[in-house]
Amino acid sequence: MTQSQVAYEYPANDTAPMPLSLSIYADRAHVRAMMRDDAQAAGFRIAEAAGIEALLDGDARPLGEVVLLDCPRIDGAGLAALSRLDLRVAHAGTHLVVSTTVAALDDVFGCLDQSAAQILIEPSRAERVLALGRVLAKVPNLRVRELSDEDRLALLRLTEQVSQIAVRLDRLSPPSDSIHGADSAFRFESPKRPFTGSDGDDSERLVHATRPALPDPRLIRRIIRQRQLRARFFDGDLFGDPAWDMLLDLTAARAEHTRVSVTSLCIASGVPPTTALRWIGQMIDAGLFQRVEDDADRRRAFITLTDKAADAMARYFAELGSQAARAV
């Protein structure tokens, strides 16, 4: 087995798991019916299928082991219900999959800070099935060894490839009355390990050493524009991971003392929103990004660099010196 492969272990007394119960909440009747059909085909037992207003009945309402929620638009009552659902799911150990739109993403993201929910942006049927597949991979009788940083990145890239295949297959299917996004799928999640740098050293050398100043944000914005020029001449898929573009954008924002919403960061990444969301999740897990709540509105959250990431970016640009403007 290569280092980039995921290793699964089955207990000696392994038995087939019982079907997981699943609750569906969606106001759009055709979406609710589609979710039910796909979940049943994937082997789930439907515990409930209702509109979002059912979540307003209070915490006494039982939830399935998996919750599928569709909220393309969200109002004040919906935000309160989603925040309460987020806490219930986190306390119960339930799996939550939420589909929404780019317009509602900031509000939805701000409500989901406890449950490690998978967030889908206007997903196709194939992409919802992929999200359910990730849930099935977490059943108790299937143990996944803790992944190294290299393994996690390899797995993330693999999910990107599978998602792209799913989108292409979905386009070949007969059109339905559902609304499909250009590209969306599940949020990538991984075992939380702090970022330790390329040599794996967890010491505080970077913290105690003199930290160079961040580069001029105008320089970083110029580099970003230079990188974006490539899309005029080449297929964007050639340039792979959006991590560096997001690091540049957050570095410029930190130097400018401005805040970056999750929607804005998704746009800066240059990839479809749910692809960006998977990478944001990975970068948070790696200790490079952090979620910061909005003091003025606790329902909103922003993404910033961690101190270690800011230190690394400052040192990187200091090392480049006068050649930084050509760092595309």
Q: Do 54 and 105 reside in the same domain of the chain?
A: yes
Q: Do 168 and 211 reside in the same domain of the chain?
A: no
- Single residue among 114, 146, 172 that ends a domain in this structure: 172
Q: Do 152 and 236 reside in the same domain of the chain?
A: no
Q: Do 321 and 216 reside in the same domain of the chain?
A: yes
Q: Do 314 and 229 reside in the same domain of the chain?
A: yes
Local structure of residue 264 (DSSP, 8 states): H
Report if residue 195 sits inside a domain. no
CA torsion sign, 175 to 180 to 183 to 187? negative
Report if residue 29 sits inside a domain. yes
Q: Do 162 and 210 reside in the same domain of the chain?
A: no
Q: Give the pLDDT score at 184.
A: 34
pLDDT in tens, the chain (328 residues): 333 333 334 444 555 556 889 999 999 999 999 999 989 888 899 999 999 888 877 666 789 999 999 999 988 888 888 988 999 999 998 999 999 999 999 999 999 999 999 999 998 888 888 888 888 877 654 444 455 566 555 555 555 655 555 555 555 555 444 333 334 333 333 334 444 444 445 444 444 456 688 888 898 998 888 888 887 888 766 776 799 999 999 999 999 999 999 999 999 998 889 889 989 988 998 899 999 998 887 778 999 999 999 999 999 998 887 666 565 5
Distance CA 75, CA 262 (A): 19
Residue range(s) defining the domain that contains residue 46: 17-172
Report if residue 110 sits inside a domain. yes
Report if residue 261 sits inside a domain. yes
Q: Give the pLDDT score at 270.
A: 87
Q: Do 213 and 320 reside in the same domain of the chain?
A: yes
Pairing relationship of beta strands 21-26 and 45-50 according to DSSP bridges: parallel
Report if residue 187 sits inside a domain. no
- Single residue among 124, 148, 172 that ends a domain in this structure: 172
Report if residue 10 sits inside a domain. no
Find the CATH number of the domain harbouring 254. Answer: 1.10.10.10
Q: Do 141 and 213 reside in the same domain of the chain?
A: no
Distance CA 94, CA 46 (A): 15
Domain tally for the chain? 2
Beta-sheet strand order (sheet of 118-121): 45-50, 21-26, 66-70, 95-100, 118-121
Q: Give the pLDDT score at 42.
A: 83
Q: Do 108 and 215 reside in the same domain of the chain?
A: no
Q: Do 72 and 216 reside in the same domain of the chain?
A: no
Q: Give the pLDDT score at 328.
A: 57
The whole model's pTM is what? 0.70
Find the CATH number of the domain harbouring 79. Answer: 3.40.50.2300
Q: Give the pLDDT score at 245.
A: 93
What are the start-end ranges of the E strands in the chain?
8-9, 21-26, 45-50, 66-70, 95-100, 118-121, 143-144, 260-261, 289-293, 301-305
Report if residue 136 sits inside a domain. yes
SS3 state at 67 = strand
Output the CA angle 155-158-161, nearest 5 degrees: 160
- Single residue among 172, 195, 214 that ends a domain in this structure: 172
Q: Do 293 and 219 reside in the same domain of the chain?
A: yes
Q: Do 164 and 210 reside in the same domain of the chain?
A: no
Report if residue 197 sits inside a domain. no
